[in-house]
């Protein structure tokens, strides 16, 4: 072996690692980002968010809690749970054993209740003892999971659509459910002491607009993603002007910087987006009706990491405001799930849906279960 040939691997290996694979242009492949499901009246979408399985988790207890949430939602919907949206932070500082267990659990439950589920990246899903591509492959391989991650020119690891189509012709799109990767965080400079939370980038908005146009301008849509955008806070500060409900017991945990504000909601609102639901801030499930668009955070699912304890005797005005809006008169924890039921008739799509928040707490004798309509 000459000196030159010995040096060859040093050049070749980095090239292999950087994957010289072709970057796909989303503009030319819009149809590849789309999954389809049959639409029917009272199509139910259950949002589970911030489950946060981590190295400290007792997955035994987490699964027991999740069993109760899924059973409750299944019974509440009259045994018609169609889609489960996992809106990010399914894991945090987790390992491959826990991820495998999680996917197996959801596969088993989706067979049991007959739902499909969609996996959306949260900021913490990237931080574990596994390769992000390996995590993506677990979802990709799962039979009942919607997940798409091409090597494309679009920001985020995975952005995809679920088109709810006419059950007979299988092509007419009735509703469109967007699943966006709102990223993780970034530094403003190499020496920044803090990180800013990420936001939905311009190219993702453009992709959404293109996908929506392909489905039909009149098609109503719902978007699910993880990190709240700047609109949440703006609407909260002006909440007297809008119908709003539920709790806001901490910041929305967006980046709070006008320079990094997303244009997504502003643009999508003019293209028939009817709902935008996210997670990220566990002590917040505050929801607002912004003209025709409902914007809100889902209820945190499960006891992992942190969650708010709602105390009816609290002097915190934000807690009292939330309590007054939901009408619950006993102490409970802000954990559970959120349910969207699309109520449009099959042949008369008007963009109508109901939103309910489920608060479910395990208790020694009778579990606390409360459904609150928006």
Query: Which residues make up the interface to other proteins (CB under 8 A)?
Result: 14, 17-19, 53-61, 92-95, 97-98, 101, 123-124, 126-134, 183-195, 197-198, 250, 282-283, 303-307
- Taking the least distance from each CB to other proteins, the nearer of 97 and 242 is 97
Residue 45: CB minimum distance to other proteins, A = 27
Residue with tokens 């009942």: 144
Q: How far is the C-alpha of 269 from the C-alpha of 274, rounded, in Å? A: 7
- Taking the least distance from each CB to other proteins, the nearer of 132 and 216 is 132
Phi and psi at residue 62, in whole multiples of 5°? -65, -40
Residue with tokens 């009272």: 42
What Å distances lie between residue 23 and 27, 149, 151, 184, 352, CA to CA?
Answer: 12, 12, 5, 22, 38
Helix (H, G, I), strand (E, B) or coil at 217: coil
Number of neighbours of residue 91 by Cβ within 10 angstroms: 25
Residue 192: CB minimum distance to other proteins, A = 6
- Taking the least distance from each CB to other proteins, the nearer of 304 and 344 is 304
What Å distances lie between residue 351 and 35, 71, 299, 372, CA to CA?
Answer: 20, 28, 23, 21
Residue 37: CB minimum distance to other proteins, A = 30
Residues 6+ apart with CB under 8 A from 321: 248
Contact (Cβ atoms closer than 8 angstroms) between residue 288 and residue 296: yes
- Taking the least distance from each CB to other proteins, the nearer of 85 and 98 is 98
Q: How far is the C-alpha of 71 from the C-alpha of 83, rounded, in Å? A: 14
- Taking the least distance from each CB to other proteins, the nearer of 1 and 191 is 191
- Taking the least distance from each CB to other proteins, the nearer of 113 and 197 is 197
Nearest to 274 by CA among 84, 45, 115: 45
Helix (H, G, I), strand (E, B) or coil at 5: helix
- Taking the least distance from each CB to other proteins, the nearer of 115 and 155 is 155
Residue 211: CB minimum distance to other proteins, A = 23
Residue 262: CB minimum distance to other proteins, A = 15
Q: How far is the C-alpha of 335 from the C-alpha of 310, rounded, in Å? A: 10
Residue 128: CB minimum distance to other proteins, A = 6
Residue 281: CB minimum distance to other proteins, A = 9
Residue 239: CB minimum distance to other proteins, A = 23
- Taking the least distance from each CB to other proteins, the nearer of 249 and 288 is 249
What Å distances lie between residue 306 and 51, 66, 268, 316, CA to CA?
Answer: 10, 16, 32, 18
Residue 360: CB minimum distance to other proteins, A = 17
Nearest to 180 by CA among 203, 206, 212, 156: 156
CA dihedral 114, 119, 124, 126 (to 10 degrees): 130
- Taking the least distance from each CB to other proteins, the nearer of 130 and 207 is 130
């Amino acid at each position: 072996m000459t000196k030159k040939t010995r040096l060859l691997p040093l050049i070749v290996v980095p090239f292999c690692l950087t994957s010289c694979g072709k970057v796909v242009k989303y503009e030319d492949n819009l149809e590849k980002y789309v999954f389809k499901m049959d639409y029917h009246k009272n199509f139910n979408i259950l949002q589970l968010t911030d489950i946060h399985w981590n190295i400290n988790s007792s997955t035994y207890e987490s699964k027991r809690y999740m069993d109760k949430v899924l059973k409750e939602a299944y019974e509440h919907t009259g045994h018609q749970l169609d889609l489960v949206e996992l809106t990010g932070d399914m894991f945090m500082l987790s390992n491959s054993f826990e991820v495998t267990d999680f996917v197996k659990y959801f596969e088993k439950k989706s067979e049991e209740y007959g739902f499909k589920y969609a996996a959306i990246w949260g900021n913490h899903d990237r931080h574990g003892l596994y390769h992000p591509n390996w995590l993506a492959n677990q979802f990709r391989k799962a039979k009942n999971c919607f997940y798409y991650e091409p090597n494309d020119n679009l920001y985020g690891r995975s952005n995809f659509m679920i088109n709810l189509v006419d059950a007979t012709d299988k092509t007419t799109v009735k509703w469109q459910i967007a699943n966006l990767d709102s990223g993780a965080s970034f530094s403003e400079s190499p020496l920044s002491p803090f990180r800013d939370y990420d936001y939905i980038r311009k190219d993702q908005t453009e992709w959404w607009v293109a996908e929506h146009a392909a489905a039909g301008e009149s098609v109503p849509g719902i978007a699910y993603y993880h990190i709240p955008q700047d609109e949440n806070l703006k609407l909260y500060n002006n909440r007297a002007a809008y119908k709003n409900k539920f709790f806001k017991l901490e910041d929305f945990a967006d980046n709070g910087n006008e320079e990094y504000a997303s244009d997504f909601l502003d643009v999508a609102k003019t293209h028939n987006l009817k709902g935008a639901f996210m997670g990220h801030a566990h002590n917040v499930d505050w929801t607002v009706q912004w003209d025709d668009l409902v914007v809100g955070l889902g209820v945190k699912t499960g006891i992992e990491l942190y969650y708010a304890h709602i105390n009816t005797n609290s002097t915190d005005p934000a807690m009292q405001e939330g309590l007054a809006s939901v009408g619950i008169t006993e102490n409970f924890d802000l954990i559970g799930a959120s349910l969207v039921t699309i109520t449009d008739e099959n042949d008369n799509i008007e963009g109508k849906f109901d939103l309910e928040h489920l608060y479910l707490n395990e208790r020694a004798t009778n579990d606390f279960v409360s459904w609150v309509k928006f």
